[in-house]
Chains A and B, each alone.
Chain A
Amino acid sequence: SQQGEEDPQALSIQEGENATMNCSYKTSINNLQWYRQNSGRGLVHLILIRSNEREKHSGRLRVTLDTSKKSSSLLITASRAADTASYFCATDTGANSKLTFGKGITLSVRP
């Protein structure tokens, strides 16, 4: 069953704008991870945020986690055409430590 649900399902923005993607989940987690996937290729790990953390930054990425609302957001600032990809949140619930992926968000950045 799906643990993470991303919102929106698709997002189209202009280069230079910020992109915000949200993820909601159902059960308590050890950590939440964000991945990027370019069309038909493997996933690339972007950032991991632990359940006791509220915010993390990595370059142009900012991730927040609200465990009381069971939600996370991924902000990509100053987007580039190369950011065009599918983005997945994935939760580690600690049960066997397997990752459960959300359905994904398709981000299109127009040059």
Chain B
Amino acid sequence: DTEVTQTPKHLVMGMTNKKSLKCEQHMGHRAMYWYKQKAKKPPELMFVYSYEKLSINESVPSRFSPECPNSSLLNLHLHALQPEDSALYLCASSQGLGREQFFGPGTRLTVL
């Protein structure tokens, strides 16, 4: 299995909602990543997990809360988001830090 899956594909939420994005890979990769991508812009790194431990937090606001329950799963918990947080959220994994990354199809998030 050489795929990274993300659910849901689309998510619309209000500013008072709590929701979660889910990412899963079964390639035995030990590094997992969350990126945020706005239209016509490059992906911006948010978080990096290495061996299930948070190794990079790119000064992301606390309304985004990552979680890595095990080596195959990565969640992003969302709470009290702002309309400017609307974007494509991409998950990726790699065998290790600095290696080629495999991306999921993304979750298109709209915050009303």
By a beta-carbon cutoff of 8 Å, the part of chain A in contact with chain B is: 2, 30-31, 33, 35, 40-45, 48, 88, 92, 94, 96-104
Chain B residues at the A interface, C-beta cutoff of 8 Å: 4, 6, 40-43, 45, 48, 55-56, 88, 90, 92, 96-106, 108
Q: Which residues of A contact B102 (CB under 8 A)?
A: 45
Contacts of B99 in A (CB 8 A): 48
A88 / chain B contacts, CB cutoff of 8 Å: 42-43
Q: In whole Å, how far is A101's beta carbon from the nearest beta carbon of chain B?
A: 4
Assembled-state Cα–Cα distance A35/B97 (Å)? 17
Per the bound structure, the CA–CA distance linking A30 and B56 in Å amounts to: 18
Complex CA distance for A43 and B48, rounded to whole angstroms: 17
Q: Are B101 and A42 interface neighbours, CB within 8 A? A: no
Given contacts A42-B105, A45-B100, 17 further A-B contacts (CB under 8 A): A30-B98, A35-B103, A40-B108, A42-B6, A42-B103, A42-B104, A43-B101, A88-B42, A88-B43, A96-B55, A97-B97, A98-B56, A99-B101, A101-B42, A101-B43, A103-B41, A103-B42
CB-nearest residue of chain A to B99: A48
A96 in contact with B106 given A43-B90, A45-B100 (CB within 8 Å): no
State how many angstroms separate the Cβ of B39 from the closest Cβ of chain A: 9
Contacts of A102 in B (CB 8 A): 42
Complex: A111 Cα to B90 Cα, angstroms? 30
B36, chain A: closest CB distance, angstroms: 12
A42 CB to closest chain B CB (Å) equals 4
**Are A31's CB and B98's CB within 8 A?**
yes
Please indicate the chain A residues that have their CB under 8 angstroms from the CB of B100 in the complex. 33, 45, 48
Docked Cα-Cα span, A30 to B90, in Å, equals 24
Tell me the minimal C-beta distance from A47 to chain B in angstroms. Answer: 9
B45 partner residues in chain A, CB cutoff 8 A = 98-100
In angstroms, Cα B106 to Cα A35, docked, is 15
CB of B11 to closest CB in A, whole Å = 14
Bound-state CA distance A96–B41 (Å) is: 23
- Report the bound CA distance from A45 to B103 in whole Å: 8
What are the residues of chain A within 8 A of B98 when measuring CB–CB? 30-31, 92, 94, 97
